[in-house]
Structure formats: C-alpha cells, structure tokens
Amino acid sequence: MSVWFPNDVVYDSDLEAYEQTILTQFGQTDWQTKRVKALEDWAFPALAKAGYVPERLRTRHAPAKVLGQTGGVYTDYTASATTPNAATIPLATVFATPATDHLLIGSPLQFRGLSIRMLDQVSNTNGTLTVQVWADSWEQVNPLNETQFLNNKPFSRGGDVRWEMPGNWVTRTINGSAPLYWARITLTSTPAGAFAGQIGCIRGTALTGPVTLRTLGLIFREAQTLQGGPWEDKANTYLADAERALEGAMLLVSREFDTLTVDDQIDPSEAAQTTGEVTGQPTGYSWERG
C-alpha cells in the first residue's frame, strides 16, 4: 500500500514563516493535527473532485545522483538509492573514515530535506549526523524539529532529515555529474552493519502554500473561542486566501503524483506529466468552487 506524508506538505516552520509566534502564543508544541485536517478534509477532497487520486500525491522526488565519497574516491549509488523496497547502500563502507567520508545527494531543483528508507540492517552506533549544502563552499544547514533521525544514533531507523532552506545554495558538478544542487551527509562514527535503501529529495509542493494558509485559518478559528484577540478576522482572511491559492495550485499539481511505478517518489517522467495524463480527462483539469 502506498503512503503519503502530511508532514512533507506543510512543516510547522512554514506556519512560522507567516506567524512567527504560532507555536508559542497558544501553548502548542506542534500543529500536526491541524495540518492533517487541512489536507484530509479540504485539499484531498478538492483533488479527488478534480479527478486525482489524493493518496498518490508525493513530495519525495528521485535524486539525480547519489555518490559515496570514501577516502577521496567516488562510488555511484544512484541505482540503489532509486530502487524501492531494497536496502543496498553499504553505509559502513561509505563512512569508513568518519568526519572525512560523505554521502552526497544531488538534484536539479533545491530540496528541503531527505527521506532515507531503511529495512532491517540498521546502525546501533552512537554519533552525530550533519548536513551541508554547496553554497560556493560546503555550508552546514540547520535541522528542523521535524527531523526524525536521532543525533545519538544516525541510521538506527529510517526517517527524514529536514532543514531550513539556505538562501545561497547553488549548483555544481561533482564527479562528472550535471550541475546539481548537492546535500552532503557527514557522520562522526561509522554506522556498523547499516544499509540504506531508497533516498528521496523532499520538496515543497504546489499545495504547500494553500494548505499552510488553510492550517493557519483553522488555528485562528479555534483560537477565537479560547482567548481574546483579533482571531476571527485573521481566521477569515487566511481561509479566504487559502481558497484563492488552491485554485492556482490545482493548475500545477499534476506533476506531483506517483502514477507510473507507485514507489512513493516522483521520477522525471512523472514530474513532466500533464493533468490529462493523471486524471484521464482529455480536456484537462476543471475546478468549481463550492
């Protein structure tokens, strides 16, 4: 059964970009419930009405290149990293010399995180995982609180590594690749016995903006019943903005569905598909606001 990832569509940091104190002013640690409600009760019905299969919406894209850099020598793991239901990237080999060996992931578009799938061969070694991106030099990015890997045991499970998007990320070629945006993983200890599987580049979707606005509307609509403030006006503004933003997003979202191999990632063929190819509507997408 294919899965979808509500946390990938909207992070709490997306909400904070509009409302800096949204996590503190109402005494919440996260807005997971509201984010899921905005998707399941609002965006997903709109997608289904337009002829899409909502559960095949994806934010995880196949990387263009995955390289191990061990002792200064590159090994290409792209095929292994884009194969579902297998774990064949030997992490102990890649990170044989901690702090100087790296796993590099390249994509033609910027991405705001990595999904790294693991099966049974995981690490039980303490250590720290860091991520750098190429910004005319390797620059470390700040992890978000949505990151699922635990710093004390990297690769002890599958999960996501997510970060604040840098403003100065640029492309470069590595080991003969095309110009790509690169993220570079470094460890402080070798993950003995661990093998990684499918690696995905997490990107925002056309729905990130509308669902962020809808989530904020739901938050402030509830807030008006809990404490004083101009919350009703804010709620109405965000909810109306979300409706308008959704109309525009529906014209773009066809490229974000896993339709060919259903492997939980978008490959280049799927990224180029038209609305008609996804929905089976020869005339393309149509939208009627309720």
Q: DSSP readout, 201-231?
A: EE---TTHHHHHHHHHHHHHHHHTTTS-SSH
Query: How far, CA to CA in Å, does 210 sit from each of 14, 46, 52, 170?
Result: 11, 12, 17, 27
| Count of all residues that appear for the chain in the document | 290
Counting residues of the chain whose pLDDT is more than 70, the rounded percentage is: 91
What would the two tokens of residue 53 be?
A: 């299969």
Mean pLDDT for the stretch of residues 214-233: 85
Report the percentage of the chain scoring pLDDT > 90.
Answer: 63
Going by C-alpha positions, the residue among 191, 186, 175, 199 that lies closest to residue 101 is 186
- pLDDT value at 158 more than 70: yes
Confidence of residue 148 (pLDDT cuts 50, 70, 90): low
Confidence (pLDDT) at 187? 93
The per-residue pLDDT for 6 is 58
Task: Please give the Cα distance from 201 to 161 (Å, whole number).
Answer: 10
Looking at CATH, the fold of the domain delimited by 60-201 is given as Jelly Rolls (2.60.120)
Residues 6+ apart with CB under 8 A from 141: 131, 132, 133, 163, 164, 166, 183
**pLDDT category of residue 3 using cuts at 50, 70 and 90:** very low
Please tell me the distance from the alpha carbon of residue 206 to that of residue 250, in angstroms, as a whole number. Answer: 8
Q: What is the DSSP letter of 232?
A: H
* pLDDT in the model for residue 286: 53
Q: Would the pLDDT of 113 be above 90? A: yes
Residue pair 178/64 in contact by the 8 Å Cβ criterion: yes
User: Band of the pLDDT at 290, cuts 50, 70, 90?
Assistant: very low
State the Cα angle at 106 between 103 and 110, rounded to 5°.
125
Q: Is the pLDDT of residue 112 over 60?
A: yes
Give me the mean pLDDT over the 4-33 stretch. Answer: 84
Reply yes or no on whether the pLDDT at 288 is more than 70. no
Domain boundaries, the chain: 10-57+205-255, 60-201
The model's confidence at residue 280, banded by pLDDT at 50, 70 and 90, is confident
Instruction: Give per-residue pLDDT as tens, 170-197.
Output: 999 999 999 999 999 999 999 999 999 9
The pTM for the full model equals 0.86
Question: Please, which pLDDT band fits residue 264 given cuts at 50, 70 and 90?
Answer: confident
pLDDT at 271 over 80: yes
What is the average pLDDT value for the chain, to the nearest integer?
A: 89
> pLDDT digit string (tens) for 53-111?
888 898 899 999 999 999 999 999 999 999 988 899 999 999 999 989 999 999 999 99
Distance between first and last Cα of the chain: 31
pLDDT digits (tens, 9 = 90+) for 43-67: 999 999 999 988 889 889 999 999 9
Distance CA 246, CA 287 (A): 10
